[in-house]
């Protein structure tokens, strides 16, 4: 063999792996794949789209409220904007479905309006968020039924119930204490509106068990359903989220800590629910419905003309008229204000009105005054609904007293640009120790707070009645502005508008 051939053979032999080398390489490949699988199974990759399960409820996905898209929805959208997530909603028919999707890892977060699983295995990588609201269970009954004790009805009738286990347990506990053995409850889905309609019809189910937070948005529109019994132990509103998603745990925790400590969560709760009357206001609602059917048609054209002239929502003007005079053009208050929109002589003269009791003038110049108050607050850069609350308070109390209250709120360490905080201060202007420190002095500030809250409530009800089936729909539908045709985006788009929109 030549020297050249021998060297070539040795080189080829040196690089030819044997069976043991192949086995070692294969074993290394298996170990590497296994390590990668173990790493990614225990260290999930970051996500760009946040999938959130939530019950299909009015308070979350609002169709009625003029004040925004829903409290929880608004918060979740804000969270995703802050941290750069795309948001994908998964609406569920029941709360139980939302929890199961989270437990199975099919969604990353679950908005629970009162639902808490009866057991939570320690193996589940799920974090329980802080409780941000509590609501008592309420037993509802049809107002058509004869007046009887609610617990007597439990004993001989089946009950519709939300799919929240703690509600049923609390109902049974209450009934047993009263020596009653209740019949089984029938679990309903997230659509409380359908449940309330069934109770109102009294077709076999005359009782419903719900938590008050989900009932509240629908209460003004179901006058045939009334609370019969409030149970003792409340349910908690909270969010649940996966703790095995990188950074999600830290971000949700920081988000809740920030919105609670800054007062942002409390401001949203005030905007969405702070105006609801404690007792339901069934008498006022009956009067409002009657006024819509019998009196509103007389003034609808004047309301529409004034709304267009001053870029206002016609339904807001309706709410102010009902609060001021209940559509009585000859109304006169003990302070001397007159007409449908209760203008003072001084204000009417300054605006150019010659007859406060003339319905057309009262509506036109009342709308003009509202607009002037709105414009006067522009320099403060308030959020849309805080600004309207201050404008309405100014309509009732005088804008000078509103500025006094804002100034006093700042001195007391409160946020003068938040209606939630200023409404706590405005009543103090009736006390000498406080109004003596202001420019405009004494005023019945508590009346201003009640005034604003009533108008906000009536405006909410009018918005709902303007598209929900009912006798009022025909009268109110023509007053709903076509926002697309006039180029005004929805209120909750984040754009500050010159006037009220829905």
pLDDT of residue 430: 96
Of 434, 435, 409, 437, which is closest to residue 423 (Cα–Cα)?
409
pLDDT of residue 181: 60
**In this predicted model, which residue has the larger pLDDT, 180 or 355?**
355
Residue 115 is assigned to a structural domain of this protein = yes
Query: Per-residue confidence at 198, pLDDT binned at 50, 70, 90?
Result: confident
Question: Is pLDDT of 149 > 60?
Answer: no
Q: What does the mean pLDDT of the chain come to?
A: 85
Same-domain status, 185 and 254? no
Residue 430's φ and ψ, nearest 5 degrees, are -90, -5
pLDDT of residue 484: 44
Q: Residue 411's domain is classified under what CATH number? A: 1.10.530.10
Kindly report, residue by residue over 161-182, the tens digit of the pLDDT: 888 888 878 877 776 555 666 5
Query: Per-residue confidence at 267, pLDDT binned at 50, 70, 90?
Result: very high
Mean local confidence (pLDDT), 484-501: 34
| Helix/strand/coil for 57 | coil
Q: How far apart are the first and last CA of the chain?
A: 98
Same-domain status, 60 and 200? no
Same-domain status, 263 and 339? no
* Domain C-terminal end among 273, 297, 327: 273
- Count Cβ atoms below 10 Å from residue 420 Cβ, excluding itself: 18
Residue 81 is assigned to a structural domain of this protein = yes
How many C-alpha atoms does 183 have within 13 Å on its Cβ side? 13
- CA distance linking residue 334 with residue 312, whole number of Å: 29
Same-domain status, 425 and 299? yes
Residue 21 is assigned to a structural domain of this protein = no
Question: Is pLDDT of 200 > 70?
Answer: yes
Same-domain status, 437 and 319? yes
- Please state at what angle helix 399-411 crosses helix 384-397, rounded to 10 degrees: 120
Q: Are the CB atoms for 437 and 429 separated by under 8 Å? A: no
Of 299, 417, 270, 416, which is closest to residue 363 (Cα–Cα)?
299
Q: pTM for the complete prediction?
A: 0.86
Of 221, 224, 199, which is closest to residue 210 (Cα–Cα)?
199
471: containing domain: 282-493
- 72, 170, 188, 324: which is the annotated catalytic residue? 324
Lowest mean pLDDT among 100-109, 181-190, 403-412: 181-190
Residue 95's φ and ψ, nearest 5 degrees, are -70, -35
Mean local confidence (pLDDT), 331-347: 91
> What DSSP designation does 493 have?
G
Give me the percent of the chain exceeding a pLDDT of 70: 81
Question: Is pLDDT of 102 > 90?
Answer: yes
Residue 159's φ and ψ, nearest 5 degrees, are -125, 135
Containing 24, the helix (H) or strand (E) segment is: helix 19-42
- CA distance linking residue 200 with residue 188, whole number of Å: 15
Give me the percent of the chain exceeding a pLDDT of 90: 66
Of 62, 64, 60, which is closest to residue 466 (Cα–Cα)?
64
Same-domain status, 183 and 245? no
- CA distance linking residue 144 with residue 223, whole number of Å: 10
Same-domain status, 228 and 113? no
Tell me, yes or no, if 324 is annotated catalytic.
yes
Copy the structure tokens of residue 96.
């139980």
Query: Which CB contacts under 8 angstroms, 24+ apart, belong to 388-394?
Result: 388/316, 388/500, 389/419, 389/423, 389/452, 389/456, 390/419, 390/422, 392/320, 392/451, 392/452, 392/455, 392/456, 393/426, 393/448, 393/449, 393/451, 393/452
Mean local confidence (pLDDT), 441-452: 96
pLDDT of residue 495: 29
* Domain C-terminal end among 246, 273, 300: 273
Q: Are the CB atoms for 404 and 410 separated by under 8 Å? A: no
Same-domain status, 78 and 197? no
Question: Is pLDDT of 148 > 60?
Answer: no
CA angle 356, 303, 462 (to 5 degrees): 115
Beta strand pairing status for 207-211 and 133-135?
Answer: unpaired
Query: Per-residue confidence at 492, pLDDT binned at 50, 70, 90?
Result: very low
Query: Which CB contacts under 8 angstroms, 24+ apart, belong to 120-129?
Result: 125/242, 125/243, 125/244, 126/102, 126/240, 126/241, 126/242, 126/243, 127/240, 127/241, 127/242, 127/243, 127/249, 127/252, 127/253, 128/238, 128/240, 129/238, 129/239, 129/240, 129/241, 129/252, 129/256
**In this predicted model, which residue has the larger pLDDT, 219 or 45?**
219
Kindly report, residue by residue over 391-409, the tens digit of the pLDDT: 999 999 999 999 999 999 9
Same-domain status, 223 and 189? yes
Mean local confidence (pLDDT), 254-259: 97
pLDDT of residue 203: 58
- CA distance linking residue 502 with residue 491, whole number of Å: 6
Tell me the chain's radius of gyration from C-alpha atoms.
31
Residue 167 is assigned to a structural domain of this protein = yes
Q: Residue 199's domain is classified under what CATH number? A: 3.40.190.10
pLDDT of residue 494: 33
Same-domain status, 367 and 459? yes
Query: Per-residue confidence at 60, pLDDT binned at 50, 70, 90?
Result: very high
Question: Is pLDDT of 123 > 90?
Answer: no
Mean local confidence (pLDDT), 434-444: 95
Question: Is pLDDT of 2 > 80?
Answer: no
Residue 465 is assigned to a structural domain of this protein = yes
Residue 103 is assigned to a structural domain of this protein = yes
Mean local confidence (pLDDT), 145-151: 51
Of 309, 325, 455, which is closest to residue 391 (Cα–Cα)?
455
- Into how many domains does the chain fold? 3
Residue 502 is assigned to a structural domain of this protein = no
Mean local confidence (pLDDT), 415-422: 96
Of 200, 186, 274, 208, which is closest to residue 460 (Cα–Cα)?
274
Same-domain status, 178 and 122? no
pLDDT of residue 4: 52
Residue 109 is assigned to a structural domain of this protein = yes
Query: Per-residue confidence at 13, pLDDT binned at 50, 70, 90?
Result: very low
Residue 90's φ and ψ, nearest 5 degrees, are -120, 100
Question: Is pLDDT of 111 > 70?
Answer: yes
**In this predicted model, which residue has the larger pLDDT, 108 or 26?**
108
| Helix/strand/coil for 101 | helix
Question: Is pLDDT of 212 > 60?
Answer: yes
Same-domain status, 359 and 480? yes
Kindly report, residue by residue over 29-46, the tens digit of the pLDDT: 666 556 555 545 555 567
């Amino acid at each position: 063999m030549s020297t050249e051939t021998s060297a070539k053979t040795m080189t080829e032999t040196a690089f030819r792996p044997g069976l043991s080398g192949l086995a070692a390489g294969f074993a290394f490949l298996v170990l590497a794949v296994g390590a990668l699988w173990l790493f990614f199974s225990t260290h999930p990759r970051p996500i760009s789209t946040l999938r959130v399960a939530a019950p299909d409820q009015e308070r979350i996905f609002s169709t009625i409220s003029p004040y925004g898209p829903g409290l929880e929805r608004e918060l979740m959208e804000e969270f995703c904007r802050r941290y750069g997530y795309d948001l994908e909603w998964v609406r569920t028919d029941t709360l139980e479905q939302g929890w199961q999707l989270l437990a199975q890892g099919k969604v990353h977060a679950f908005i629970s309006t009162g639902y808490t699983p009866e057991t939570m295995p320690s193996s589940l990588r799920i974090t329980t968020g802080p409780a941000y609201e509590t609501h008592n269970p309420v037993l509802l009954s049809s107002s058509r039924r004869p007046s009887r004790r609610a617990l007597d009805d439990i004993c001989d009738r089946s009950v519709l119930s939300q799919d929240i286990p703690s509600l049923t347990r609390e109902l049974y506990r209450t009934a047993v204490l009263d020596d009653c053995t209740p019949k089984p409850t029938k679990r309903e889905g997230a659509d409380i509106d359908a449940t309330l309609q069934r109770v109102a019809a009294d077709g076999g189910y005359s009782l419903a068990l719900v938590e008050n937070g989900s009932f509240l948005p629908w209460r003004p529109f179901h006058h045939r359903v009334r609370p019969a019994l409030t149970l003792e132990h409340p349910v908690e509103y909270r969010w649940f989220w996966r703790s095995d998603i990188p950074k999600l745990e830290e971000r949700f925790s920081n988000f809740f800590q920030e919105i609670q400590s800054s007062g942002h969560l409390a401001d949203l709760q005030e905007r969405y629910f702070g105006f609801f009357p404690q007792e339901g206001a069934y008498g006022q609602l009956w009067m409002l419905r009657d006024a819509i059917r019998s009196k509103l048609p007389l003034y609808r054209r004047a309301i529409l003309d004034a709304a267009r002239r001053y870029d206002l929502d016609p339904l807001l003007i309706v709410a102010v008229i009902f609060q001021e005079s209940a559509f009585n053009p000859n109304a006169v208050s003990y302070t001397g204000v007159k007409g449908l929109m209760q203008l003072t002589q001084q204000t009417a003269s300054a605006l150019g009105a010659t007859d406060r009791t003339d319905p057309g003038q009262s509506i036109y110049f009342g709308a003009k005054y509202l607009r002037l108050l709105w414009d006067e607050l522009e320099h403060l850069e308030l959020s849309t609904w805080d600004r309207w609350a201050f404008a309405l308070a100014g309509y009732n109390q005088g804008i000078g007293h509103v500025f006094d209250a804002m100034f006093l709120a700042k001195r007391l360490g409160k946020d003068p640009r938040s209606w939630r905080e200023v409404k706590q201060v405005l009543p103090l202007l009736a006390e000498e120790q406080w109004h003596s420190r202001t420019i405009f002095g004494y005023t019945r500030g508590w009346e201003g707070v009640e005034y604003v809250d009533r108008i906000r409530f009536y405006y909410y009800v009018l918005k709902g009645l303007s598209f929900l089936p009912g006798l009022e729909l025909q009268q109110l539908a023509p007053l709903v502005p076509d926002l697309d045709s006039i180029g005004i985006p929805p209120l909750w788009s984040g754009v500050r508008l010159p006037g009220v929109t829905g």
